[in-house]
Amino acid sequence: MANKRGTAGSAPFHECLRHYSVLILTILFFKLSSGTEDDAFRAGQSILSPVAAASRDVRYLLYDVNPPVGSNLRRDVYIRMASLLKTLRKNGDWVLVLPPWGHLYHWQSPDIHQVRIPWGEFFSITSLQANIPVIEYEEFIAESGGPFIDQILVLQSYAEGWRDGKWEEKVDERTCIEKLMYSKDKQGYYRGWFWGYEETRALNVTCLSAQGHASTLAPVLQNNLNATSIMLDRAETVLHDHYAGKDYWDTRRSMVFAKHLRIIGDEFRAKYLNSTDKQDQTPYNEDWTQMKNRLGIAKGGPYLGVHLRRKDFIWGHREDVPSLKAAVKKIRSLLKKHKLQQVFVATDADEEELAKLKRMLPEMVRYEPTWEDLELLKDGGVAIIDQWICAHARYFTGTSVSTFSFRIHEEREILGFDPKTTYNRFCGDDENECEQPTHWKIVY
């Protein structure tokens, strides 16, 4: 299933190139071959793909992040890698391989299989491809000749820190500071965590100290001519080329949620929140390149959207996160202020806190999937549906420095909401200066 979906979404960017190579090869083959058409066909099948791939000279960029990194920060790292890929493509035919989802700390629903999840389950692959050429990992295995990665570069900081406290951009091959998460097998290949694909091996692993923007890595990758496929591990180490610039927003806009998740979110809005794009003035274009909603045009559905991040955010006793009681008080005051009757709550609260919240705020609306829905959508899909519904609310308030809330801000920016209705957060009970989130204005 996963494989089929991935293959169906093959990159239009390199598709024409590939056809071009096939054409040349076919011509070449018929020139050289003196056999019958049947022979030619059979022989052609066996020689075509490796030669075609070689003639195309494609190079693959793979990446992964530190395992504890949550899904919403992973979405941010994708944007950094997309920038790097754009830089690399100025000098070669590079393709980004999407790291399968899975094994995430926060995805705790029991008894459901949550590894080797292709990006197509959460995002629209054709939308991503309208920004940069991307392929799913299984497509990479199929077209690159097997589950082998030529070179892994583990990104790390500099052992000596910043010299003289002066920050500069630099990249150097260095000995590994931490113990490698990869080990050699009997054949001399490197084994490790490759998104749950146990048969994947790497031919070489080295460490790279890097400090700076993603694109500072480009020369290192370009000059490593022996490696067709290069994986950057700990990719979160490098910074955005230009945070919130045009390139950032182009990539962010291309990260369109998978259609089935948007449909479920829209049906929920219509059924429980009296919210439709037409009434709410939140027109959506399937083609993100054609979507440009002026800020302020979106009205949003007649409900308050809330993201209430709990779990580890309260275990650490952070002073910028409210108690449930204070959060409910704030919700009630916002409902009154904005003359809204309904509140949609997205939260990762545990059973105990959820029961408490239900007692204090019995009228709240939540998206609660059945077990069957959950098995199909996974924790990642449910989180996206929560975000989608929050993104369509007339007024939204989130949790301080939660990347989950940040991604909702961006979605609302894309939909064209007045920033006043978006960049809001709960304050901690005893927080003196409750600084509100920054408005990162969309750039087209």
Ligand X SMILES: Nc1nc2c(ncn2[C@@H]2O[C@H](COP(=O)(O)OP(=O)(O)OP(=O)(O)O)[C@@H](O)[C@H]2O)c(=O)[nH]1
Chain positions 144 to 173 lying near ligand X, rule: CB under 6 A, are none
Measured distance CA(220)–CA(394) in Å, rounded: 47
Counting contacts by CB under 6 A, is residue 258 touching ligand X? no
Q: Which of 21, 342, 397, 402 binds ligand X (CB under 6 A)?
A: 402
Of 183 and 279, which has the nearer Cβ to ligand NAG? Answer: 279
Q: At 358, is the secondary structure helix, strand, or coil?
A: helix
Q: Which of 6, 61, 62, 70 binds ligand X (CB under 6 A)?
A: 70
Our CA dihedral for 188, 190, 196, 199, rounded to 10 degrees, sits at -30
Counting contacts by CB under 6 A, is residue 382 touching ligand X? yes
Counting contacts by CB under 6 A, is residue 204 touching ligand NAG? yes
Of 22 and 270, which has the nearer Cβ to ligand NAG? Answer: 270
Of 94 and 303, which has the nearer Cβ to ligand X? Answer: 303
Q: Can you tell me which residue has the tokens 């301080």?
A: 400
Chain positions 342 to 381 lying near ligand X, rule: CB under 6 A, are 346-348, 379
User: For the chain, what is the radius of gyration of the CA atoms?
Assistant: 24
Of 9 and 305, which has the nearer Cβ to ligand X? Answer: 305
Q: Residue 379's binding partner, choosing from ligand X, ligand NAG, none, with beta-carbon cut-off 5 to 8 A by kind?
A: ligand X
Q: Which of 59, 80, 240, 307 binds ligand X (CB under 6 A)?
A: 307
Measured distance CA(208)–CA(278) in Å, rounded: 51
Of 219 and 245, which has the nearer Cβ to ligand NAG? Answer: 219
Q: At 256, is the secondary structure helix, strand, or coil?
A: coil
- Site map 76..115 versus ligand X, x via CB under 6 A: ------------------------------xx--------
Counting contacts by CB under 6 A, is residue 281 touching ligand NAG? no
Measured distance CA(271)–CA(382) in Å, rounded: 17
* Residue 389 φ/ψ, nearest 5 degrees: -70, -40
Mention every residue, 6+ apart, whose C-beta is less than 8 A from residue 438: 423
CB of 278 to ligand NAG, least distance (A): 9
CB of 282 to ligand NAG, least distance (A): 12
CB of 91 to ligand X, least distance (A): 34
3-state secondary structure 360-378: HCCCCECCCCCHHHHHHHH
CB of 224 to ligand NAG, least distance (A): 6
Counting contacts by CB under 6 A, is residue 398 touching ligand X? no
Counting contacts by CB under 6 A, is residue 64 touching ligand X? no
Counting contacts by CB under 6 A, is residue 72 touching ligand X? yes
Q: At 117, is the secondary structure helix, strand, or coil?
A: strand
| Angle subtended by helix axes 403-415 and 371-391, to nearest 10 | 60
**E strand residue ranges, 131-196:** 134-136, 148-149, 151-156, 170-174, 183-184, 190-191
**E strand residue ranges, 137-252:** 148-149, 151-156, 170-174, 183-184, 190-191, 201-202, 205-211, 229-233
Task: Name residue 229's beta-bridge partners.
Answer: 60
Contacts with ligand NAG by CB under 6 A: the residue count is: 6
Q: Residue 204's binding partner, choosing from ligand X, ligand NAG, none, with beta-carbon cut-off 5 to 8 A by kind?
A: ligand NAG
Report the run of H or E that residue 344 belongs to, with start and end. strand 342-347
Chain positions 258 to 277 lying near ligand NAG, rule: CB under 6 A, are 274
Q: At 391, is the secondary structure helix, strand, or coil?
A: helix
CB of 286 to ligand NAG, least distance (A): 24
Report yes or no: 235 and 182 within 8 Å, Cβ to Cβ. no
Measured distance CA(297)–CA(344) in Å, rounded: 22
Q: Can you tell me which residue has the tokens 């031919």?
A: 203
Counting contacts by CB under 6 A, is residue 333 touching ligand NAG? no
Counting contacts by CB under 6 A, is residue 71 touching ligand X? yes
Of 63 and 123, which has the nearer Cβ to ligand NAG? Answer: 63
Residues lying near ligand X in the complex (CB under 6 A) are found at: 70-73, 106-107, 307, 309, 312, 346-348, 379, 382-383, 386, 402-404
Residues lying near ligand NAG in the complex (CB under 6 A) are found at: 204, 206, 224, 226, 274, 279
